[in-house]
């Protein structure tokens, strides 16, 4: 199946606007993606026609809302190929999902002296929960190195994942270096040593096919807003064997089975973990986003974005004074491209690009340990999605060249 990005972008109302009198080129997709009309319509339709709490009512609106919400859970199950919908927990996003694992699994199964293995390229959301867990349990946090060309060092991983390893937690795709990490191999290493594998899928799930059964991971976390869905909704996949043994981290509302004066019991999976009124509209709209992405095809999206990288990365590398972080070969680089322009702070670069209508990110990208490892305080970051085009890549290159010219020689 071919992908017509110019046609698809017309389904995203926000992209049809001027920014600083220039047509918008949105290249901050690693932070959040834009929403197609189908997702916006799903949000509106719920509130206009079906607004009711789920699971609790027998009236028509409540039944319609429950059917749509649980239908979205089944869409997620199919999308990531989980074995059963009970293994799909709705959360607020990747950060919440990872915190749930660290608190629920970690407090139950991690002991003093155990090791938690992560890498230098992790997002803060996949660092701080493990720091806190290690501190609570007197466990040790171990970091896998990054190679000089921006890959996770698999040989170092083999040295550091060992008999003391209880948890390995790694990003499927780096939000700075733009690399796809060998999570299947890491899962095998973790299991061979008696540990479990946690995958941060925030930057992978929107861009490529994901099969949690094929990966054999124990937990997989991702966010709706990075895959054309709304903010405030995310997913934690967990193998039933672990979820059955874990305790909830939030209590009240829908997760209750029976409440006595001095103790209570919990509902079965997945509701055992989902306390209170959930983000019903968000869940339903995430289902609509999955319908939208599935209709395009995740492999089609992956291949199209790779063609954009094949086009854009050589042009960026050819700019004198511009440094791209991560692999220099487009074949090993996703649509996340972090860079710096010699002599300029990335915030100045991002501000100048915005004056040209090009939206990119600037800062440490919630990955300060990685930037310290790279010995840079911050970078600019362009990140592509399937509604971007080669013309967008050209606009980015032209805007960088114009920025360089302005700061070297001033306005013409």
Residue 177 near residue 149, CB atoms below 8 Å: no
How many C-beta atoms surround the C-beta of residue 128 within 10 A?
A: 16
Degrees, nearest 5: CA angle 303-309-313: 165
- What is the spatial distance between Cα 366 and Cα 346, in angstroms, rounded to a whole number? 15
Which of 275, 296, 366, 401 is an active site residue?
366
Whether residue 228 lies in the annotated active site? no
The token pair that represents 402 in the structure block: 């114009």
Helix, strand, coil percentages (3-state) for the chain, rounded to 5, are: 45, 20, 40
Residue 105 near residue 247, CB atoms below 8 Å: no
Indicate if the alpha-carbon torsion angle 281, 287, 291, 297 is positive or negative: positive
Q: Are strands 196-200 and 165-171 parallel, antiparallel or unpaired?
A: parallel
In the sheet where 196-200 sits, what is the strand order? 88-91, 234-238, 219-223, 196-200, 165-171, 115-119, 140-144
Integer CA distances (angstroms), 89 to 272, 304, 335, in order = 9, 30, 28
Closest CA to 224 of 79, 56, 372, 346: 79
Q: Going by C-beta distance under 8 Å and a sequence separation of 6 or more, which residues neighbour residue 411?
A: none
- With residue 90 as reference, give the H or E element that holds it: strand 88-91
3-state secondary structure of 249: coil
Residue carrying the six token digits 């992405």: 293
User: What positions carry a catalytic annotation?
Assistant: 366
């Amino acid at each position: 199946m071919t992908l017509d990005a110019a046609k698809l972008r017309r389904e995203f109302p926000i992209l049809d606007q001027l920014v600083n009198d220039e047509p918008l080129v949105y290249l901050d997709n690693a932070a959040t993606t834009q929403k197609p009309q189908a997702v916006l319509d799903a949000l509106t339709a719920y509130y206009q026609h079906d607004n009711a709490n789920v699971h609790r009512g027998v009236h028509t609106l409540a039944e319609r809302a429950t059917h749509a919400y649980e239908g979205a859970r089944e869409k997620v199950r199919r999308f990531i190929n989980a074995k059963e919908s009970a293994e799909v927990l709705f959360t607020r996003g990747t950060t919440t999902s990872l915190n749930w694992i660290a608190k629920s699994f970690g407090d139950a199964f991690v002991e003093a002296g155990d090791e938690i293995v992560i890498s230098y390229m992790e997002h803060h959301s996949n660092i701080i929960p493990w720091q806190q867990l290690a501190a609570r349990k007197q466990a040790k946090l171990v970091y896998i190195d990054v190679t000089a060309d921006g890959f996770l060092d698999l040989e170092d991983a083999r040295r550091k994942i060992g008999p003391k390893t209880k948890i390995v937690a790694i990003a499927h795709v780096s939000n700075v270096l733009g690399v796809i990490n060998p999570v299947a191999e890491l899962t095998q290493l973790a299991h061979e040593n008696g540990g479990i594998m946690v995958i941060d899928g925030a930057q992978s799930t929107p861009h490529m096919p994901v099969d949690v059964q094929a990966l054999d991971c124990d937990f997989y976390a991702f966010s709706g807003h990075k895959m054309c869905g709304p903010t405030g909704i995310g997913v934690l996949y967990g193998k039933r064997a672990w979820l059955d043994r874990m305790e909830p981290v939030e209590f009240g509302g829908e997760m209750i089975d029976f409440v006595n004066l001095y103790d209570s019991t919990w509902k079965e999976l997945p509701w055992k973990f989902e306390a209170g009124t959930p983000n019903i509209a968000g869940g339903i709209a995430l289902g609509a986003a999955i319908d939208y992405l599935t209709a395009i095809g995740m492999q089609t999206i992956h291949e199209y974005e790779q063609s954009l990288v094949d086009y854009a990365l050589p042009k960026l590398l050819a700019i004198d004074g511009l440094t791209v972080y991560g692999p220099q070969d487009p074949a090993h680089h996703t649509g996340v491209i972090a860079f710096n322009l010699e002599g300029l702070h990335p915030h100045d670069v991002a501000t100048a690009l915005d004056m040209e209508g090009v939206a990119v990110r600037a800062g440490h990208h919630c990955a300060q340990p990685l930037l310290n490892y790279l010995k840079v305080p911050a970078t600019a970051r362009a990140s592509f999605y399937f509604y971007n085009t080669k013309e967008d890549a050209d606009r980015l290159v032209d805007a960088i060249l114009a920025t360089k010219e302005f700061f070297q020689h001033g306005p013409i």
